[in-house]
Amino acid sequence: MKFYLGTHHDGWLAELTVPLFVSHRRLFERRRLPRARTSWALDSGGFTEVTLHGGWQTREVDYLEAVERYATEIGRLDWAAPMDWMCEPLALEKTGLSVDQHIGRTIENYCHLHDARPDLPIIPVVQGWQLGDYLRCVAGYSAAGINLLDYEVVGLGTICRRQGTAEANQIVRELSDIGLHLHAFGAKITGLRSYGCQLASSDSLAWSYNARRHPPLRGCEGKHKNCANCWKWAIRWRRKLLNDLAHRDSR
């Protein structure tokens, strides 16, 4: 599993050498972009946009232009998320739409982006709430002429807030068993411990929340109240997590 360290500090792209996960919402207003020293993936910022506005305000053409700019100016972009529609109850409440409507809009958006710019590394995402929803999403892509088995990475949405549950484990297992190479958005430790070995990749920003609950690292005292924005804490947290997962896999 490739693990992308989530960060709200886009400048880390030019400083760190571990894979990073950065949001479009952090980058799109910057005149000068950092030049990446590491591989990274782009979050479209969909959860924030949909829950804030009840739908996408960003135009597809503007997002495509942004992804092209990031790929060219920042470089080393592994892939970018599409403008998908997550299916958490909060998102459904904000849009007033059903799970199936969110699934349909997710598939439609990916097809639009792919047809317009097949050269850009934008990945498809499967959305849903229950297992049957995700399976209908896979079938919907197939009906649109998209064979998800052909993709090196397929995003798995609406999973992070319940990843410690048996339902989440079943969703990951079933989709992995049919051959999808999954990226779990917003994966946290509980989920990775359960099904990390079945993922192609994952990302997490949980280190920042973890740091807020602890005093700063030695050497950081006096510099900041806690290490919620500190790359040293983030790197240490990542190393500890991956060591823990490797130990579990070796049992």
Tell me the pLDDT band of 162, cut-offs 50, 70 and 90.
low
Domain boundaries, position 18: 2-204
pLDDT computed for residue 63 by the predictor: 98
pLDDT computed for residue 167 by the predictor: 85
Q: Let me know if residue 57 belongs to a domain.
A: yes
Q: Let me know if residue 241 belongs to a domain.
A: no
**Which residues are within 8 A (CB) of 26 and not within 5 positions of it... i.e. 6 or more apart?**
8, 10
pLDDT computed for residue 187 by the predictor: 80
Q: Is 141 within 8 Å of 149 (Cβ atoms)? A: no
Q: Let me know if residue 211 belongs to a domain.
A: no
Mean pLDDT over the full length of the chain: 94
Q: Where are the alpha helices (DSSP H) in the chain?
A: 24-27, 46-53, 60-69, 89-95, 99-116, 131-143, 166-177, 189-195, 206-212, 231-249
Residue 251: is its pLDDT beyond 80? no
Instruction: Please give the Cα distance from 91 to 110 (Å, whole number).
Output: 19
Q: Let me know if residue 210 belongs to a domain.
A: no
Domain count, the chain: 1
Tell me the pLDDT band of 191, cut-offs 50, 70 and 90.
confident
Task: Enter the pTM of the model.
Answer: 0.95
Q: Let me know if residue 229 belongs to a domain.
A: no
Residue 190: is its pLDDT beyond 90? no
Residue 163: is its pLDDT beyond 60? no
List the CATH number of the domain containing 121. 3.20.20.70
Q: Let me know if residue 239 belongs to a domain.
A: no
Q: Let me know if residue 232 belongs to a domain.
A: no
Q: Let me know if residue 233 belongs to a domain.
A: no
What does R_g of the chain's alpha carbons equal in angstroms? Answer: 18
